[in-house]
Amino acid sequence: MEYRTLGTSGLQVAPIGLGCMGMSFAYGGADEAASLRVLHRAVELGVTLIDTAEVYGPYANEELVGRALKQLRGKVSIATKFGFRILPHGQGVERMAGVDSRPEHIVQAVEASLSRLGIDSIDLLYQHRVDPAVPIEDVVGAMAGLVRAGKVRHLGLSEVSAATLRRAHAVHPIAAVQSEYSLWSRDVEAQVLPACRELGVGFVPYSPLGRGFLTGQLPSSAMLAPDDYRHSLPRFQAPAMAANGRLVAALQGLAAARGVTAAQLALAWLLAQGSDIVPIPGARSLAHLEENVAAAQVALSASELAAIGAAIAPAAVQGARYPAVELAMVGL
């Protein structure tokens, strides 16, 4: 498998990673045994970038990843994130109580993540969301201290602006920026992605399949579990879903003509946007995992790329990607 390089400090990974959030968080109840099978199979298929975060659960996802990969440590790069204040009680997202990137909190969070993951060093550590109360220079300074201490190997940022990225990179090399990027979320193309390329920073798209919507398998929100986080997202409200569903139908038509699935076409389009891009689609079943990984073998012509991009034109997508309160936390 042809590897891709994130950043300039030598982090090489397979072209498609695995986002693990949905195994423990946000998308309704998950089957732990099935998740362990998916993680093991991912490694068998050559996936090397495994993405988690302390807030997924909270904490449960890191513990799951740690158990699954205990005997496979040398075959994977583990990415995790800090940056939220997490309450001791409650369920899921209700335990998130704002951001916290105070340097002392970063050190505590990383020590706890290392313990839950059962590893000595985190391969890629992200700040999950910018903390407006803490200068990014202080945040990256604390993260760089963890690199010097051998606790972390590479640094990343999530959902940052181009200006914040430049300030951060001046303190310590940033290996990757992780932000939402897909056919229906292309905001990063304006400033963030060009800044990454200017600085030699890799880009890791999360939700590359639009939280499942771009697969064409979610015709209505009624298919989602009652506690599914997507019920709160503007794009998953009934009027927007209907309009966006017509866009996905066009994508499905292109996929059928090519003999692949809509998910594979969406991922192949994303991979073709640059060799510095490593999407991390989630998967809770072996079938979806294998479908996603196979997308790396789908080569697209210039005309196909143009047709795919036009099928889901950003201006035609209905609904914001987050509610206002969460949207305010991105691009700082």
Which positions are annotated as active-site residues? 56
Q: Where are the beta strands (DSSP E) in the chain?
A: 4-6, 11-13, 18-19, 49-51, 77-82, 84-86, 96-99, 122-127, 152-158, 176-180, 202-206
Contact 82, 108 (CB under 8 A): no
Structure tokens at 167: 């300030």
Q: Do residues 16 and 25 touch, judged by C-beta distance below 8 A?
A: no
Q: Which residues neighbour 91 within 8 Å (Cβ) at sequence distance 6 or greater? A: none
Give which of 102, 98, 72, 77 is closest to 87, Cα–Cα: 98
- Closest C-alpha to 234, from 267, 186, 185, 193: 185
Which position has the token pair 């303190």? 171
